[in-house]
Amino acid sequence: METILIKGSKKEEIYEEILPQLRALLEGEADFVANMANASSVLRVAFPGRFSWVGFYLMKGKELVLGPFQGKPACVRIAVGKGVCGTAAARRETIIVPDVERFPGHIACDPDSRSEIVVPMLRGNRLIGVLDVDSNQLNEFDVIDERYLRQIVDVVLGASAVETSD
């Protein structure tokens, strides 16, 4: 088992440190669920106090279904087009929400959540699911998070044998 080491203190430094460590951790492991579980753990450990919830929702039929995550219990099913996750899935684009209470139709799985970023997981044109990260702080996420979380999604998808169901 690999131990993730974090020496940086700035957000970008932390992402730069965890990316190669995540690649090494997932190397040789094709199980999608295991890789999502480790990726969510790495992110939560790397950003203590900043990321209150980190996890994946997977497309199952016409809805997102809860996958591996770190944090409080979560909503199990989210309709595409509903809430932040469902909206990101429908648009197939990253959504950054500085204040979840100002997002129309926000689904409050965790009442302490204040900001959120959702990154779609795409294989070609096919939506596999989304990576969802919440914070108990307002305005926690920006383009730096978007850039690196997209890379993390790519690492997870690249290492994994992804099975999907429509």
**Torsion-angle region of 138 (φ positive above 0: left; ψ -120 to 50: alpha; else: beta):** beta
Domain-located, residue 164 = no
pLDDT, tens digit, 9 for 90 and up, residues 43-91: 999 999 899 999 999 999 999 999 999 999 999 999 999 999 999 999 9
Whole domain around residue 124: which residue ranges? 11-159
**Which tokens is 116 given?**
């959120």
Domain-located, residue 4 = no
Domain-located, residue 44 = yes
Domain-located, residue 92 = yes
The domain tally of the chain equals 1
Instruction: Give the Å distances, CA to CA, from 10 to 6, 16, 46, 68.
Output: 11, 10, 11, 26
Domain-located, residue 135 = yes
Enumerate long-range contacts of 67-71, CB under 8 Å, 24 or more apart.
Answer: 67/33, 67/36, 67/129, 68/33, 68/36, 68/37, 68/40, 69/40, 69/132, 70/40, 70/41, 70/43, 70/44, 71/44, 71/110, 71/134
Domain-located, residue 3 = no
Mean pLDDT in consecutive groups of 10 residues from the start of the chain, 166 residues: 63 94 94 97 93 97 96 94 95 96 81 93 94 96 97 95 62
The residue whose two tokens read 């684009």 is 93
CA distance 35 to 160: 7
CATH, residue 129: 3.30.450.40
pTM of full prediction above 0.85: yes
